């Protein structure tokens, strides 16, 4: 058991951190101020740097590295801001990985290399007005007709709504209730019958576009079926990797907050000395460092145990739950230690605090992760409906 990164992994992490600190801080400020996502030019720059498709096979335009390397890149970009890191998050652990693994070969070849090249962005469309945590209650319907699929329904809370180039739409292929009839279909933005609601205005995640999606007799080729009826388990396996990405984005807020507040408490003087000389501040720093380090190790364990595959639901849920709660705690404590400076929009701490709360909602709320963990412990799923 080796807890050390390899020389190559350290070099990758450090090079991304240098690039991010030298290039992206003004971008984060602009995105936060305007609410607009990073430009497509920047996304293509990410591609040129090799940050998109880190874990995707070279045959499909990726770097061919592992889950851990992908998450190292996600953390370093997410430390700058959630919005700046979001395109890298989506390209490395988002729905494109399900398309890569389960989609028709021709579909994967038309989408995945474009994502790795920064020419295409793909978002996930899972939740609905009455199907969030209870995802298997979704009603969006896919009807097969000759060599086409016709989609009807409404999707909610789509990160990338009306901004991404395509959407992995979770849908129901038959009337059979529950998970057995659920699969997913890829839909290109601009397809007739596809429309979007007004942009959401959220507490955090400024620069991460979100909106409802409406599908009204949307027709796509049958080859756009990524997972057919009965493949819900495959979709959730791919989503276990996205959970680790979510956990990493939460970790990014916490680790950057810890770095910032560590510098602050050594510079800030009160009562004639740096406030880090007060034992209460020392104890708080230690508690924050413990949470950051534990989060990182849980995420890395989930990623490495899966090797080139997808992490387990147990490991990914533990990592996500712990990192989500740690990020809220660490950013909150850091904000408190910085006082008015932490609360001011002139500094990134209050943004990190708001985004940390968002990552604990996105991708499955914290409490549902605990249900997943309990299910893994006892070896069976719990029926929440009875």
Give the mean pLDDT per block of 10 residues along the chain (386 residues): 91 98 97 96 97 95 95 98 97 96 96 98 96 92 96 96 97 94 97 97 96 98 96 94 97 98 98 98 98 98 82 95 98 98 96 97 92 92 80
The DSSP symbol for 309 reads S
Q: Residues 285, 334: contact at Cβ < 8 Å? A: no
Structure tokens, 24: 């992206």
Contacts of 378 (CB under 8 A, 6+ apart): none
Structural domains in the chain, sorted by start: 7-116 (1.10.540.10), 122-230 (2.40.110.10), 233-378 (1.20.140.10)
Q: Residues 364, 243: contact at Cβ < 8 Å? A: yes
Q: How far is 217 from 39, CA to CA, in rounded Å? A: 31
pTM: 0.95
The candidate with the shortest Cα–Cα distance to 51, out of 100, 5, 97, 92, is 92
Tens of pLDDT along 293-331?
999 999 999 999 875 589 999 999 999 999 999 999 999
The candidate with the shortest Cα–Cα distance to 302, out of 376, 378, 384, 386, is 376
The candidate with the shortest Cα–Cα distance to 310, out of 245, 240, 364, is 240
């Amino acid at each position: 058991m080796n807890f050390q990164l390899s020389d190559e992994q350290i070099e990758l992490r450090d090079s991304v951190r240098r690039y991010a600190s030298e290039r992206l801080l003004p971008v984060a400020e602009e995105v936060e101020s305007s609410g607009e996502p990073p430009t497509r030019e920047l996304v293509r720059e990410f591609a040129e740097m090799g940050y998109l498709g880190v874990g995707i096979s070279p045959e499909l335009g990726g770097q061919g590295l592992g889950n851990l390397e992908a998450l190292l890149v996600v953390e370093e970009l997410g430390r700058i801001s959630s919005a700046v890191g979001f395109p890298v998050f989506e390209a490395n652990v988002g729905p494109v990985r399900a398309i890569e693994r389960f989609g028709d070969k021709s579909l994967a070849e038309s989408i995945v290399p474009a994502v790795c090249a920064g020419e295409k962005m793909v978002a996930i469309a899972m939740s609905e007005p009455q199907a969030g945590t209870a995802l298997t209650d979704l009603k969006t319907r896919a009807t097969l007709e000759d060599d086409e699929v016709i989609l009807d329904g409404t999707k909610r809370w789509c990160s990338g709504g009306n901004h991404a180039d395509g959407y992995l739409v979770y849908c129901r292929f038959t009337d059979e209730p529950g998970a057995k009839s659920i699969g997913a279909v890829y839909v290109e933005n601009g397809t007739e019958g596809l429309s979007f609601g007004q942009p959401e205005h959220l507490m955090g995640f400024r620069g991460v576009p979100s909106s409802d999606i409406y599908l009204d007799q949307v027709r796509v080729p049958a080859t756009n079926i990524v997972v057919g009826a009965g493949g819900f388990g495959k979709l959730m396996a791919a989503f276990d990797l996205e959970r680790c990405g979510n956990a990493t984005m939460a970790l990014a807020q916490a680790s950057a907050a810890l770095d910032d507040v560590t510098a602050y408490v050594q510079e800030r003087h009160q009562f004639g000395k740096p406030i880090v000389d007060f034992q209460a501040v020392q104890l708080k720093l230690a508690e924050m460092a413990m949470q950051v380090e534990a989060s990182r190790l849980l995420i890395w364990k989930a990623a490495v145990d899966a090797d080139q595959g997808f992490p387990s639901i147990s490991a990914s849920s533990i990592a996500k739950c712990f990192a989500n709660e740690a990020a809220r705690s660490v950013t909150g404590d850091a904000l408190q230690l910085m006082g008015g400076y932490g609360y001011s929009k002139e500094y990134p701490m209050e943004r990190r605090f708001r985004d940390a709360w968002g990552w604990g909602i996105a991708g499955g709320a914290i409490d549902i992760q605990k249900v997943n963990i309990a299910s893994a412990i006892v070896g069976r799923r719990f029926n929440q409906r009875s």
